[in-house]
Chains A and B, each alone.
Chain A
Amino acid sequence: MDEKKNIQNKFVSITQNIGYEFRTTLKLSLKYLKEIFRSKLFFIIAILLPAILMIFMGVIFGGPISAVQSFSILVVNEDAGYTNDTITYTFGESLIGTLETITYPVEEGEEPMNLFYVYESEYYNQSVEDYLIYEEHGLHLTLIIPENFSEMIFSFDNDITVTVVGDSTTGDYQSAVTAFGSIYDDFVGAVRLSLGDTTGHTIIVENFIDIVGNTTVFDLMVPGFVIIGIVMNIVFVSSILTEEYEQKTLEKLQLTPMRTIHLLGGLAISQLLVALVQIIVLFALSLAFGYNAIGSFVLAGIIIWIMSLSMSAIGMIIAAFSKKATIASSISSVVAIPLYMITFFPVWGMSTIPMFEINGNVFGVFDILPTNLATNMVNSVMIYGQTFADIQFEFVSLIIVTAIYLIIGLVLISLLKLRPKKE
């Protein structure tokens, strides 16, 4: 009987304790929310600034894309070369050289225009394809020169095959393939002739990738605009925490039974609420300015929401090393620049450098920046209509990366800001 009562009491006291822990965390998050919403700077930096940017870009880049006169081509040259009589031939490179030199006259007296603008990539995989997708309006074609390209040219009587990738639904692609095809024919014919052979055909294998809807540059930038607002939360988190240190309120909290996790948990919860407001306001604005989204706003919102936690964590890390709020916010602004710049790279075209691969899923070097992961995912969902199943790998990566940042923030704040000081 007594034992039962003991267990009961124990249970009551445990639940009571959990209740108190939650109360502390919630109270602190409420405190931070009050402090944030009472500051005008918050509305200016977190909502107004990205909103104005979005409206501005919506007006400029929201329209359809004009027709092009030159073709942009991405070449993946896998040609290993071929050695014949101690001379190594690399015809892949020669083909690229040819593409680069073909020009056509524009008007009399003016410089002739290049027919092809050539970009090169070392390898071809999903991420290069993504790159191609994103670059749909800037890039018309991807050409993959196979490893045995030079060898094929030497094996007389055989056909010579290259692969092109592109969106068959666009007229630009068709023209680009035609233009490339005739140059390719001429090139192979000339090379074989110089080797004393006139047999064989050139073959172009076409791989089509689906590009849904009429994506505008603005569409590709929308995740960037939403994320800019969220990235700015680094400034809030770091300066709020550092101010707490500067004003000695952190010392007050340090002397209470509160633990670091309560403090940072409260701060993170307040930031999640702030981010929710930002996400809703900014996506609503993007819709008003003609965002052609075909995917789930809820999924995109959740992705950015999780990413916002990693921004809080980065703010905490900066705060751990800062002694003055002004310094913390300057550092934060500097750190924020690459974080939101990267969200526009899909528009500008930056290839992914792989770090490791799991089951064919590539984790790129830039994926340690949560904004990069989030942007790629949001674009996949919103523009190409991918579902959760398609982005699982990146989604889990984002959660893991965010958790790592949070743990680092927690440890650093606890070690550097909530321990007895030496001075």
Chain B
Amino acid sequence: MVTSNENVILKSESVGDSDSAIEVVELIKHFSSKKESEAVKAVDGLSFSIKKGEIFGLLGPNGAGKTTLIRMLVGLLKPTSGKFLFNGEELNINSSKLKNVIGYVPQEAAFWKDLTVYENLSTIGTTYKIPNKELKERIDHLLEGLYLVEHKKKKASKLSGGMQRRLNLAMGMVHHPQILLLDEVFVGLDPQTRNYLYDYLKDFASKDNKTIIITSHLMEIVDALSDRVGILDLGKMLAVDTPENLKNTHGKGDILQLEIDKDFDDSLVSKIDKSVADVSIEKNEQNLVVKTLNAIAKLPEILNIVEAEGFTVQDVKLTKQSLETVFISLTGKELRV
């Protein structure tokens, strides 16, 4: 297991790896602006690869560059520089080979408002070379799977927001793409549909080695769904690994954030560090950031020290060990802004 893992890492350094579904090499996207200061480095030199058959979660706060990255991969946005390969090949964005392989579900639902649910799906489906009978079966299957059967004759504009998002999802999947890119598909769904979609994607990915790339700022879902996770912030990939490994290397323990009423200096930090066992502690502006296992148990002790030193704690925030804590320890800020 370990050796094969190393293999992948070694291989991914040489471009053209046939084990990877997508390989991104030095990809850059800068949005220019008239004012120099407003130019955005939305994607800032990304290199990573996504293996065939895996669910790859792309985690990052709003504005991290997730949508920009995905839109470049599917060929809607022109990169400033860099390249990417599909199945080891650098395919032209207009090649029908690529278009048959890739499925994309955009962050914002897009569909023909005046067409019914079924008509929306069959219009998209017809553009692929799928025989009519099979196309119909696929659409019926999707409608069933996404609880849209009863609404298939409804005009899309008459659907609820959640249903519209499901239609949006179905439209990207009707051609059974080998590589599916989903941008924030869990947003705006009720918990029941979320769970359902979760199972559906797991099932979809498990069949014929399909690759799914899913962006989200919802770490619980990314954590549970993904085989590997890439953490993206300000256009840079901070870490790529399995959720387990990420938590073990970067996010050991829970994170306690204590907001102190007035300025404090390092003496408070070192005092806590000495008195309380197994903590790592940092000062972040008005906050004391404490990383430790089982933080709840240690909270009273810490509070006592702070008050003994003459400070008052105004707010306490506890984040249990999760991708969230990984993110905080990588960036020093919270994922949910």
Q: Which residues of A contact B (CB under 8 A)?
A: 16-17, 20, 23-24, 27-28, 31, 34-35, 38-39, 247-249, 251-258, 262, 420-423
Contacts and interface: CB of A to CB of B under 8 A. Distances in A.
B171 interface: yes
B106 A253 contact: no
A421 B78 contact: yes
B112 A255 contact: no
Contact of B99 (A16, A23, A38, A257): A257
B259 interface: no
A28 B115 CA distance: 12
Given A17-B129, A28-B123, A252-B172, 13 more contacts: A24-B127, A31-B123, A35-B115, A252-B106, A252-B110, A252-B111, A253-B124, A253-B127, A255-B75, A256-B124, A257-B99, A420-B93, A421-B76
A254 B124 contact: no
A81 to B, nearest CB: 63
Nearest to A256: B127
B115 A252 contact: no
Contacts of A257: 96, 99-100, 127-129
Contact of B76 (A31, A249, A254): A254
A420 to B, nearest CB: 4
Contacts of B122: 27
B196 interface: no
B76 to A, nearest CB: 6
A255 B126 contact: no
Given A20-B129, A248-B110, A256-B127, A34 B76 contact: no
Contacts of B129: 16-17, 20, 257
Given A256-B124, A420-B93, A35 B112 contact: yes
B299 interface: no
B126 A24 contact: yes
B112 A251 contact: no
Nearest to B126: A27
B171 A31 contact: no
Given A35-B112, A248-B106, A249-B112, A255 B99 contact: yes
A31 B119 contact: yes
B18 to A, nearest CB: 24
A423 B31 contact: yes
Contacts of B327: none
Contact of B110 (A28, A251, A258, A262): A251
9 contacts: A23-B132, A27-B123, A27-B126, A31-B119, A35-B114, A38-B114, A248-B106, A256-B175, A262-B127
B99 A256 contact: yes
A251 B112 CA distance: 12
Interface in B94-113: 96, 99-100, 102, 104, 106, 108, 110-113
Interface in B225-246: none
B39 interface: no
B124 A23 contact: no
A147 B129 CA distance: 71
A373 B104 CA distance: 46
A198 B113 CA distance: 86
Nearest to A23: B126
Contacts of A28: 123
B167 to A, nearest CB: 11
A366 B99 CA distance: 44
B42 to A, nearest CB: 11
Given A23-B126, A27-B126, A31-B123, A255 B102 contact: yes
Contacts of B113: 247
A236 to B, nearest CB: 13
Nearest to A254: B76
A249 B78 contact: no
Contacts of B123: 27-28, 31
A24 B124 CA distance: 9
B161 to A, nearest CB: 15
A24 B96 CA distance: 14
Contact of A251 (B76, B100, B114, B126): B76
A79 to B, nearest CB: 63
B165 to A, nearest CB: 14
Contact of B114 (A39, A248, A258): A39
Contacts of A23: 126, 132
Contacts of B77: 420-422
Contacts of A20: 129
A334 to B, nearest CB: 26
B281 interface: no
B74 interface: yes
Interface string B317-337: 000000000000000000000
* Most chain A CB neighbours (cut-off 10 Å) among B100, B112, B123: B123
Interface string B125-146: 0111100100000000000000
Contacts of A247: 110-113
Interface string B54-91: 00000000000000000010111110000000000000
A420 B78 contact: yes
Contacts of B124: 252-253, 256
Nearest to A257: B96
B125 to A, nearest CB: 9
Contacts of A253: 124, 127
3 shortest interchain CB distances as A-B pairs: A248-B110, A256-B127, A27-B126
A267 to B, nearest CB: 13
Contacts of B111: 247, 249, 252
A248 B127 contact: no
Contacts of B128: 256-257
Nearest to B129: A20
Nearest to B79: A420
Contacts of A34: 114-115, 119
